[in-house]
C-alpha cells in the first residue's frame, strides 16, 4: 500500500466491515431470518459462515489491540446467531474508532505467537503480510459461502467500498 498510515488502515478495515455487514444482511433477507446459514461451509474441513464472520473481525480487532499495546484477543469462533454476528461487527468497529496512535507504530517490531512458534515482524509487515491477507481470506470465504448457498449477491456487493465512487456516462 502506498502512503499507508494508521488512518488508512482503519479506513480499509471499516469499509470492508461495512461490506461484511451488507453480506450478512443479504443472507438474513434471503433466508427470511432462518439462521441455519450461519452453519453453512464450502467444504467439510473448512469453518462455517458464522466462524468466518468472527475470523474476519479478528484481524481489525487485533490491529486495534496492537495499536493500544494489548495482546491479540480473538473472538469465540462459534457464532450461533445473526445478532451475535452483528454484535461482533459493531464491537470491532467500535474498537477501530478508539485507535489513537501515531504512524510511527508501523515501524515497531511485533511478535505473533502460536502454540509452538512465533514470528517477529515490523508493524507494517504485521499489517500487510498478516492482518490484511487474513482479513480478505475470511471475508472472501464468507462471500463464497453465501454465493454457494444461493444468496443473490455479486461483485458489486463485495466491492461496496467503491459504490460511492460510481458515476454515470463516459469519462
Average pLDDT, the chain: 94
64 or 166: which leads in pLDDT: 64
Quote the pLDDT of residue 169. 75
Which of 45, 101, 53, 94 lies closest to 76 in space, CA to CA? 53
pLDDT digits (tens, 9 = 90+) for 95-121: 999 999 999 999 999 998 888 899 999
Specify the pairing of strand 109-113 against strand 118-122: antiparallel
The yes-or-no verdict on residue 167 having pLDDT over 90 is no
Res 166: pLDDT: 82
* Alpha carbon distance 71, 112 (integer Å): 9
Name all domains of the chain by residue range, CATH numbers in brackets.
6-162 (1.20.120.450)
pLDDT at 96: 97
Residue 1 has pLDDT above 50, yes or no: no
- Per-residue H/E/C for 33-64: CCHHHHHCCCCCCCCCHHHHHHHHHHHHHHHH
Amino acid at each position: 500500500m502506498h502512503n499507508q498510515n494508521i488512518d488508512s488502515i482503519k479506513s480499509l478495515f471499516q469499509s470492508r466491515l461495512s461490506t461484511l455487514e451488507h453480506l450478512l444482511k443479504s443472507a438474513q433477507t434471503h433466508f427470511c431470518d432462518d439462521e441455519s446459514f450461519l452453519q453453512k461451509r464450502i467444504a467439510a474441513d473448512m469453518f462455517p459462515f458464522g466462524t468466518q464472520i468472527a475470523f474476519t473481525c479478528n484481524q481489525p480487532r487485533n490491529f486495534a489491540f496492537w495499536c493500544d499495546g494489548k495482546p491479540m484477543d480473538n473472538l469465540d469462533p462459534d457464532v450461533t446467531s445473526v445478532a451475535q454476528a452483528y454484535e461482533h461487527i459493531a464491537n470491532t468497529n467500535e474498537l477501530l474508532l478508539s485507535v489513537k496512535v501515531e504512524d510511527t507504530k508501523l515501524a515497531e517490531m511485533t511478535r505473533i505467537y502460536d502454540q509452538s512458534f512465533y514470528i517477529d515482524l515490523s508493524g507494517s509487515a504485521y499489517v500487510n503480510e498478516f492482518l490484511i491477507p487474513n482479513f480478505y481470506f475470511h471475508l472472501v470465504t464468507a462471500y463464497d459461502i453465501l454465493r454457494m448457498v444461493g444468496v443473490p449477491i455479486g461483485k458489486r456487493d463485495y466491492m461496496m467500498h467503491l459504490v460511492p465512487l460510481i458515476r454515470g456516462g463516459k469519462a
